[in-house]
Amino acid sequence: MLQKARLQVDWEGLDNVFLDMDGTLLDLHFDNYFWQEYLPRHFGERRGLSTAQAQAQLRPRFRAVEGTLQWYSADFWSAELGLDILALTRGLQDSIRVHAGAVELLQRAQAAHKRLVLLTNAHPGVLAIKLEYTGLGRFFDRVVSAHALGHPKENAGFWHSLRTLEPFERHNTLFVDDSLPVLRAAQADGMDRLIAVRRPDSQLPVREIHEFPSVESLAELVPESNEGLGVRSEELEKARNY
């Protein structure tokens, strides 16, 4: 089996690095387990249903709002299902995992003075829980939840609103996400430095992606030497201790 060639990134030509959270920085297994197993079990317990029965009831309700902000909204699902989604998230937070290479990439990019922006569809409450638990928030110059812009990332309205909030030049901005619909929306907005993540969930097989340049994890984007990002050793040490 041929090994996939390491993706080369022109770091010196980049000023901005935009990163997704769930599936890119964080293992999507947490969210998949939460919505497919953990939440249905709690929903079923409240209604005298087995987990399988609860899953069967919830699937069409989830599909009905897929791709909208409601799909990602803790407030919407708390009201819809009669459950405290944020409390359930906190109860499972010890299962949140940071993907391999994510912290090192953030450290290197920060030390090289790249502007780091987190772009996520996560509800602000869920976002706060995950950033507090992982400590990743300290690396970012700005954190943007799609809920603040009124559109999910897979919608053109998100990118239009983002340019007002966070002006950036498309030619010197890298965006990494695991969602192909999101990457397509970014591409339609004129971004061309796009990278897809082939293994957002560590418990699922690696996906075949041909539409965009791709990596299995962010570890593949970490330069083999500090010079690859224009980082001096002392700057990297500052980022690690920040």
What would you report as the CA-atom Rg of the chain, rounded to the nearest whole angstrom? 19
Q: Is the pLDDT of residue 82 over 60?
A: yes
CB 99 within 8 Å of CB 25: yes
pLDDT of residue 165: 96
Q: Categorize the per-residue pLDDT at 224 as very low, low, confident or very high, splitting at 50, 70 and 90.
A: confident
* Range 224-231 average pLDDT: 60
Q: Is the pLDDT of residue 230 over 90?
A: no
Of 69, 61, 64, 62, residue with least CA distance to 32: 62
Residue-wise pLDDT for 199-212, tens only, equals 999 999 999 999 99
Distance CA 177, CA 27 (A): 12
Long-range CB contact pairs, 36-41, < 8 A, 24+: 38/88, 38/92, 39/81, 39/83, 39/85, 39/88
List the chain domain ranges.
11-26+98-241, 30-94
Give residue 131's region: left, alpha or beta (phi > 0; psi -120 to 50).
Answer: alpha
Distance CA 43, CA 36 (A): 11
Task: State residue 234 phi and psi, 5-degree precision.
Answer: -70, -35
Percent of the residues in the chain that have a pLDDT greater than 70, as a whole number: 90
Q: Categorize the per-residue pLDDT at 124 as very low, low, confident or very high, splitting at 50, 70 and 90.
A: very high
Distance CA 134, CA 121 (A): 18
* DSSP states of the chain: -PPPPPPP--GGG-SEEEE-SBTTTB-THHHHHIIIIIHHHHHHHHHT--HHHHHHHHHHHHHHTTTSHHHH-HHHHHHHHTS-HHHHHHHTGGG--BPTTHHHHHHHHHHTTPEEEEEE-S-HHHHHHHHHHH-GGGG-SEEEEHHHHTS-TTSHHHHHHHHHHS---GGGEEEEES-HHHHHHHHHTT---EEEES-SSTTSPPPP--SS-EESSGGGGS-SSGGGGT--HHHHHHHHH-
Residue-wise pLDDT for 4-22, tens only, equals 556 888 999 999 999 999 9
pLDDT of residue 8: 84
Q: Categorize the per-residue pLDDT at 2 as very low, low, confident or very high, splitting at 50, 70 and 90.
A: very low
Side-chain-facing half-sphere of 63: CA atoms under 13 Å: 6
pLDDT of residue 1: 38
- Domain 11-26+98-241 sits in which CATH superfamily? HAD superfamily/HAD-like (3.40.50.1000)
Q: What is the mean pLDDT of the chain?
A: 93
Task: State residue 22 phi and psi, 5-degree precision.
Answer: -75, 120
Task: State residue 225 phi and psi, 5-degree precision.
Answer: -140, 160
Of 127, 136, 49, 39, residue with least CA distance to 84: 39
